[in-house]
Amino acid sequence: MKKIFQYIMLAVVTIVMASCTSDIEKTTATTGKSNVQLVVGEFPAFGDSQTRAIGTPDEGKTSWAEGDELLLEMTSKTLGTKYAAFKYNGSSWELASGELSYKEDEVPTFPHVYYAPNYKWEAGKLVLKEGKVAGTDEYIEGKANITPNGQAITVEFSKATRNYSRLRIATMPNKPITVTIDRYTPAGSSDMKWDQNYALTSDEKGNAYLYGNFVTNSRVDVKYGEAPLATHKFSQATVNAKSYALDATVVSLTDEGITYDQIVEDVKKELDAGKTYINIILAPDVDEETLEAIHIGLLEGEAKDWSINLTLIGCKKIPSRGFLHFDMLKSIVLPDVTEIGENAFSDCSGLQKVVLGNLTKVYGNVRNNGIFDGCETRSIDLVLSKDQKAMNDGEAEGRYCWTADIITDYDLSNEHVSKKFLGYEFKSITCRYKFE
């Protein structure tokens, strides 16, 4: 029987080996005309032993999961090069797109096989899927071979080398963060990015991941809105296949049962760990007692004057005299605040930077219980929400009060250009644009 025009449309058996294997699952799948066996070991997970102490430990992906894809390239003498994507349905791998076919009396080769979730085949090249950004997931190349009977392909990742490292960012659970990186090459790319921005959302354990190569002096900045959570500069280049962790964790003081003494101790622990950037989550209606406990924690922790960069997330109202005499503050960030009471920052002599949310009410006026009375505002860089409205002075509830205008934006207003806000003059004011 002549076979010159007989071709084989391949079913696939995938053997995935891990560098640290455990139990092997065996399943039988039906693809097209052939029954094939799928044998899957553990996904080749990143080691994370040196970073477990930061945030909530998480190895990241450790096994194949439903929806995972493998991208294969196959070449044969007669039919040339074919491309296909296979998707894991939870028990077997199925052809998702493309085709793999070859002439029966030829032995095909597989130049490339990838696990690269951000990518797809397009005209014989790997291109980013719509909405995906390089560096936010793995890009592993494995090995593939045809079985001797020509009925299946074996794919193996046990000897795969990651030509990149992983950065685990430990922060708040299920929160959007912005990561800015200077000098970084994302996994799957050969082009160094000098100013790369990522909008990530942390998982339920508070972790977010980036994959790529960092060089000496690469800088990483992590923000929640306008609130800086962490800054790190690499002292040396990262090592391929190694996992690193960046501490952008936040102390939560939102539990209803938390005591004054517990707050004091939690703040002292941050100082004992050598931190000068302290990030705390508070209840929206934070009270004076909580802020006093934070102050005492900073004092008992022997925070030096003008040394602490304090970020308080979640609180919407700052009570009167909330940060009075916080002499250790170098900067304070309140990204969610909308209302501030009289003398809130009075006599914070070392303040150099203040970041505020979209303000609607601010009580007090210059030299009349104003929030910055006793501060050298001409030495302060003020950062306002990009949505901040112009503030009109007047009265509310029998108290002097600035209220947000309904229509007029603050940015590019005469006050903005002249670096004035709430009657005070500042070193610089940023509201969409910076004037200094």
The 10 Å CB-count burial string (b at 16+, else e) for 342-379 is: bbbbbbbebbebbbbbebbbbbbbeeebbbbbebebee
Residue 9's pLDDT is 54
Q: How many Å apart are CA 93 and CA 16, to the nearest integer? A: 12
Q: How many Å apart are CA 86 and CA 95, to the nearest integer? A: 4
296 bridge partner residues: none
Residue 48's pLDDT is 56
Per-residue pLDDT tens over the stretch 201-259: 999 999 999 999 999 999 999 999 888 899 999 999 999 988 899 999 999 998 888 99
What is the phi/psi pair of residue 271, to 5°?
Answer: -70, -40
Average pLDDT over residues 179-188: 96
Q: How many Å apart are CA 411 and CA 417, to the nearest integer? A: 8
Closest CA to 331 of 306, 304, 313: 306
Q: How many Å apart are CA 198 and CA 210, to the nearest integer? A: 9
Name, of 22-36, 97-111, 274-288, the range with top average pLDDT. 274-288
Per-residue pLDDT tens over the stretch 385-413: 999 999 999 999 899 999 999 999 999 99
27 has pLDDT over 80: no
Q: Tell me which of 284 and 150 has the higher pLDDT.
A: 284
The kind and range of the H/E element at 260 are helix 260-272
Work out the widest C-alpha separation in the chain, in whole angstroms.
Answer: 102
What is the phi/psi pair of residue 265, to 5°?
Answer: -65, -40
Q: Is the dihedral of CA 112, 16, 71, 215 positive or negative?
A: negative
Model's pTM, two decimal places? Answer: 0.79
413 bridge partner residues: none
Residue 103 pLDDT level (bands cut at 50, 70, 90): confident
79 has pLDDT over 80: yes
Are 48 and 57 in contact, with CB atoms under 8 Å apart? yes
Q: How many Å apart are CA 201 and CA 34, to the nearest integer? A: 42
Average pLDDT over residues 285-295: 96
Q: Which has the minimum average pLDDT: 56-60, 92-96, 133-137, 183-187?
A: 56-60
Q: How many Å apart are CA 60 and CA 55, to the nearest integer? A: 13
Q: What is the mean pLDDT of the chain?
A: 87
Residue 42's pLDDT is 53
Tokens of 377: 């505002």
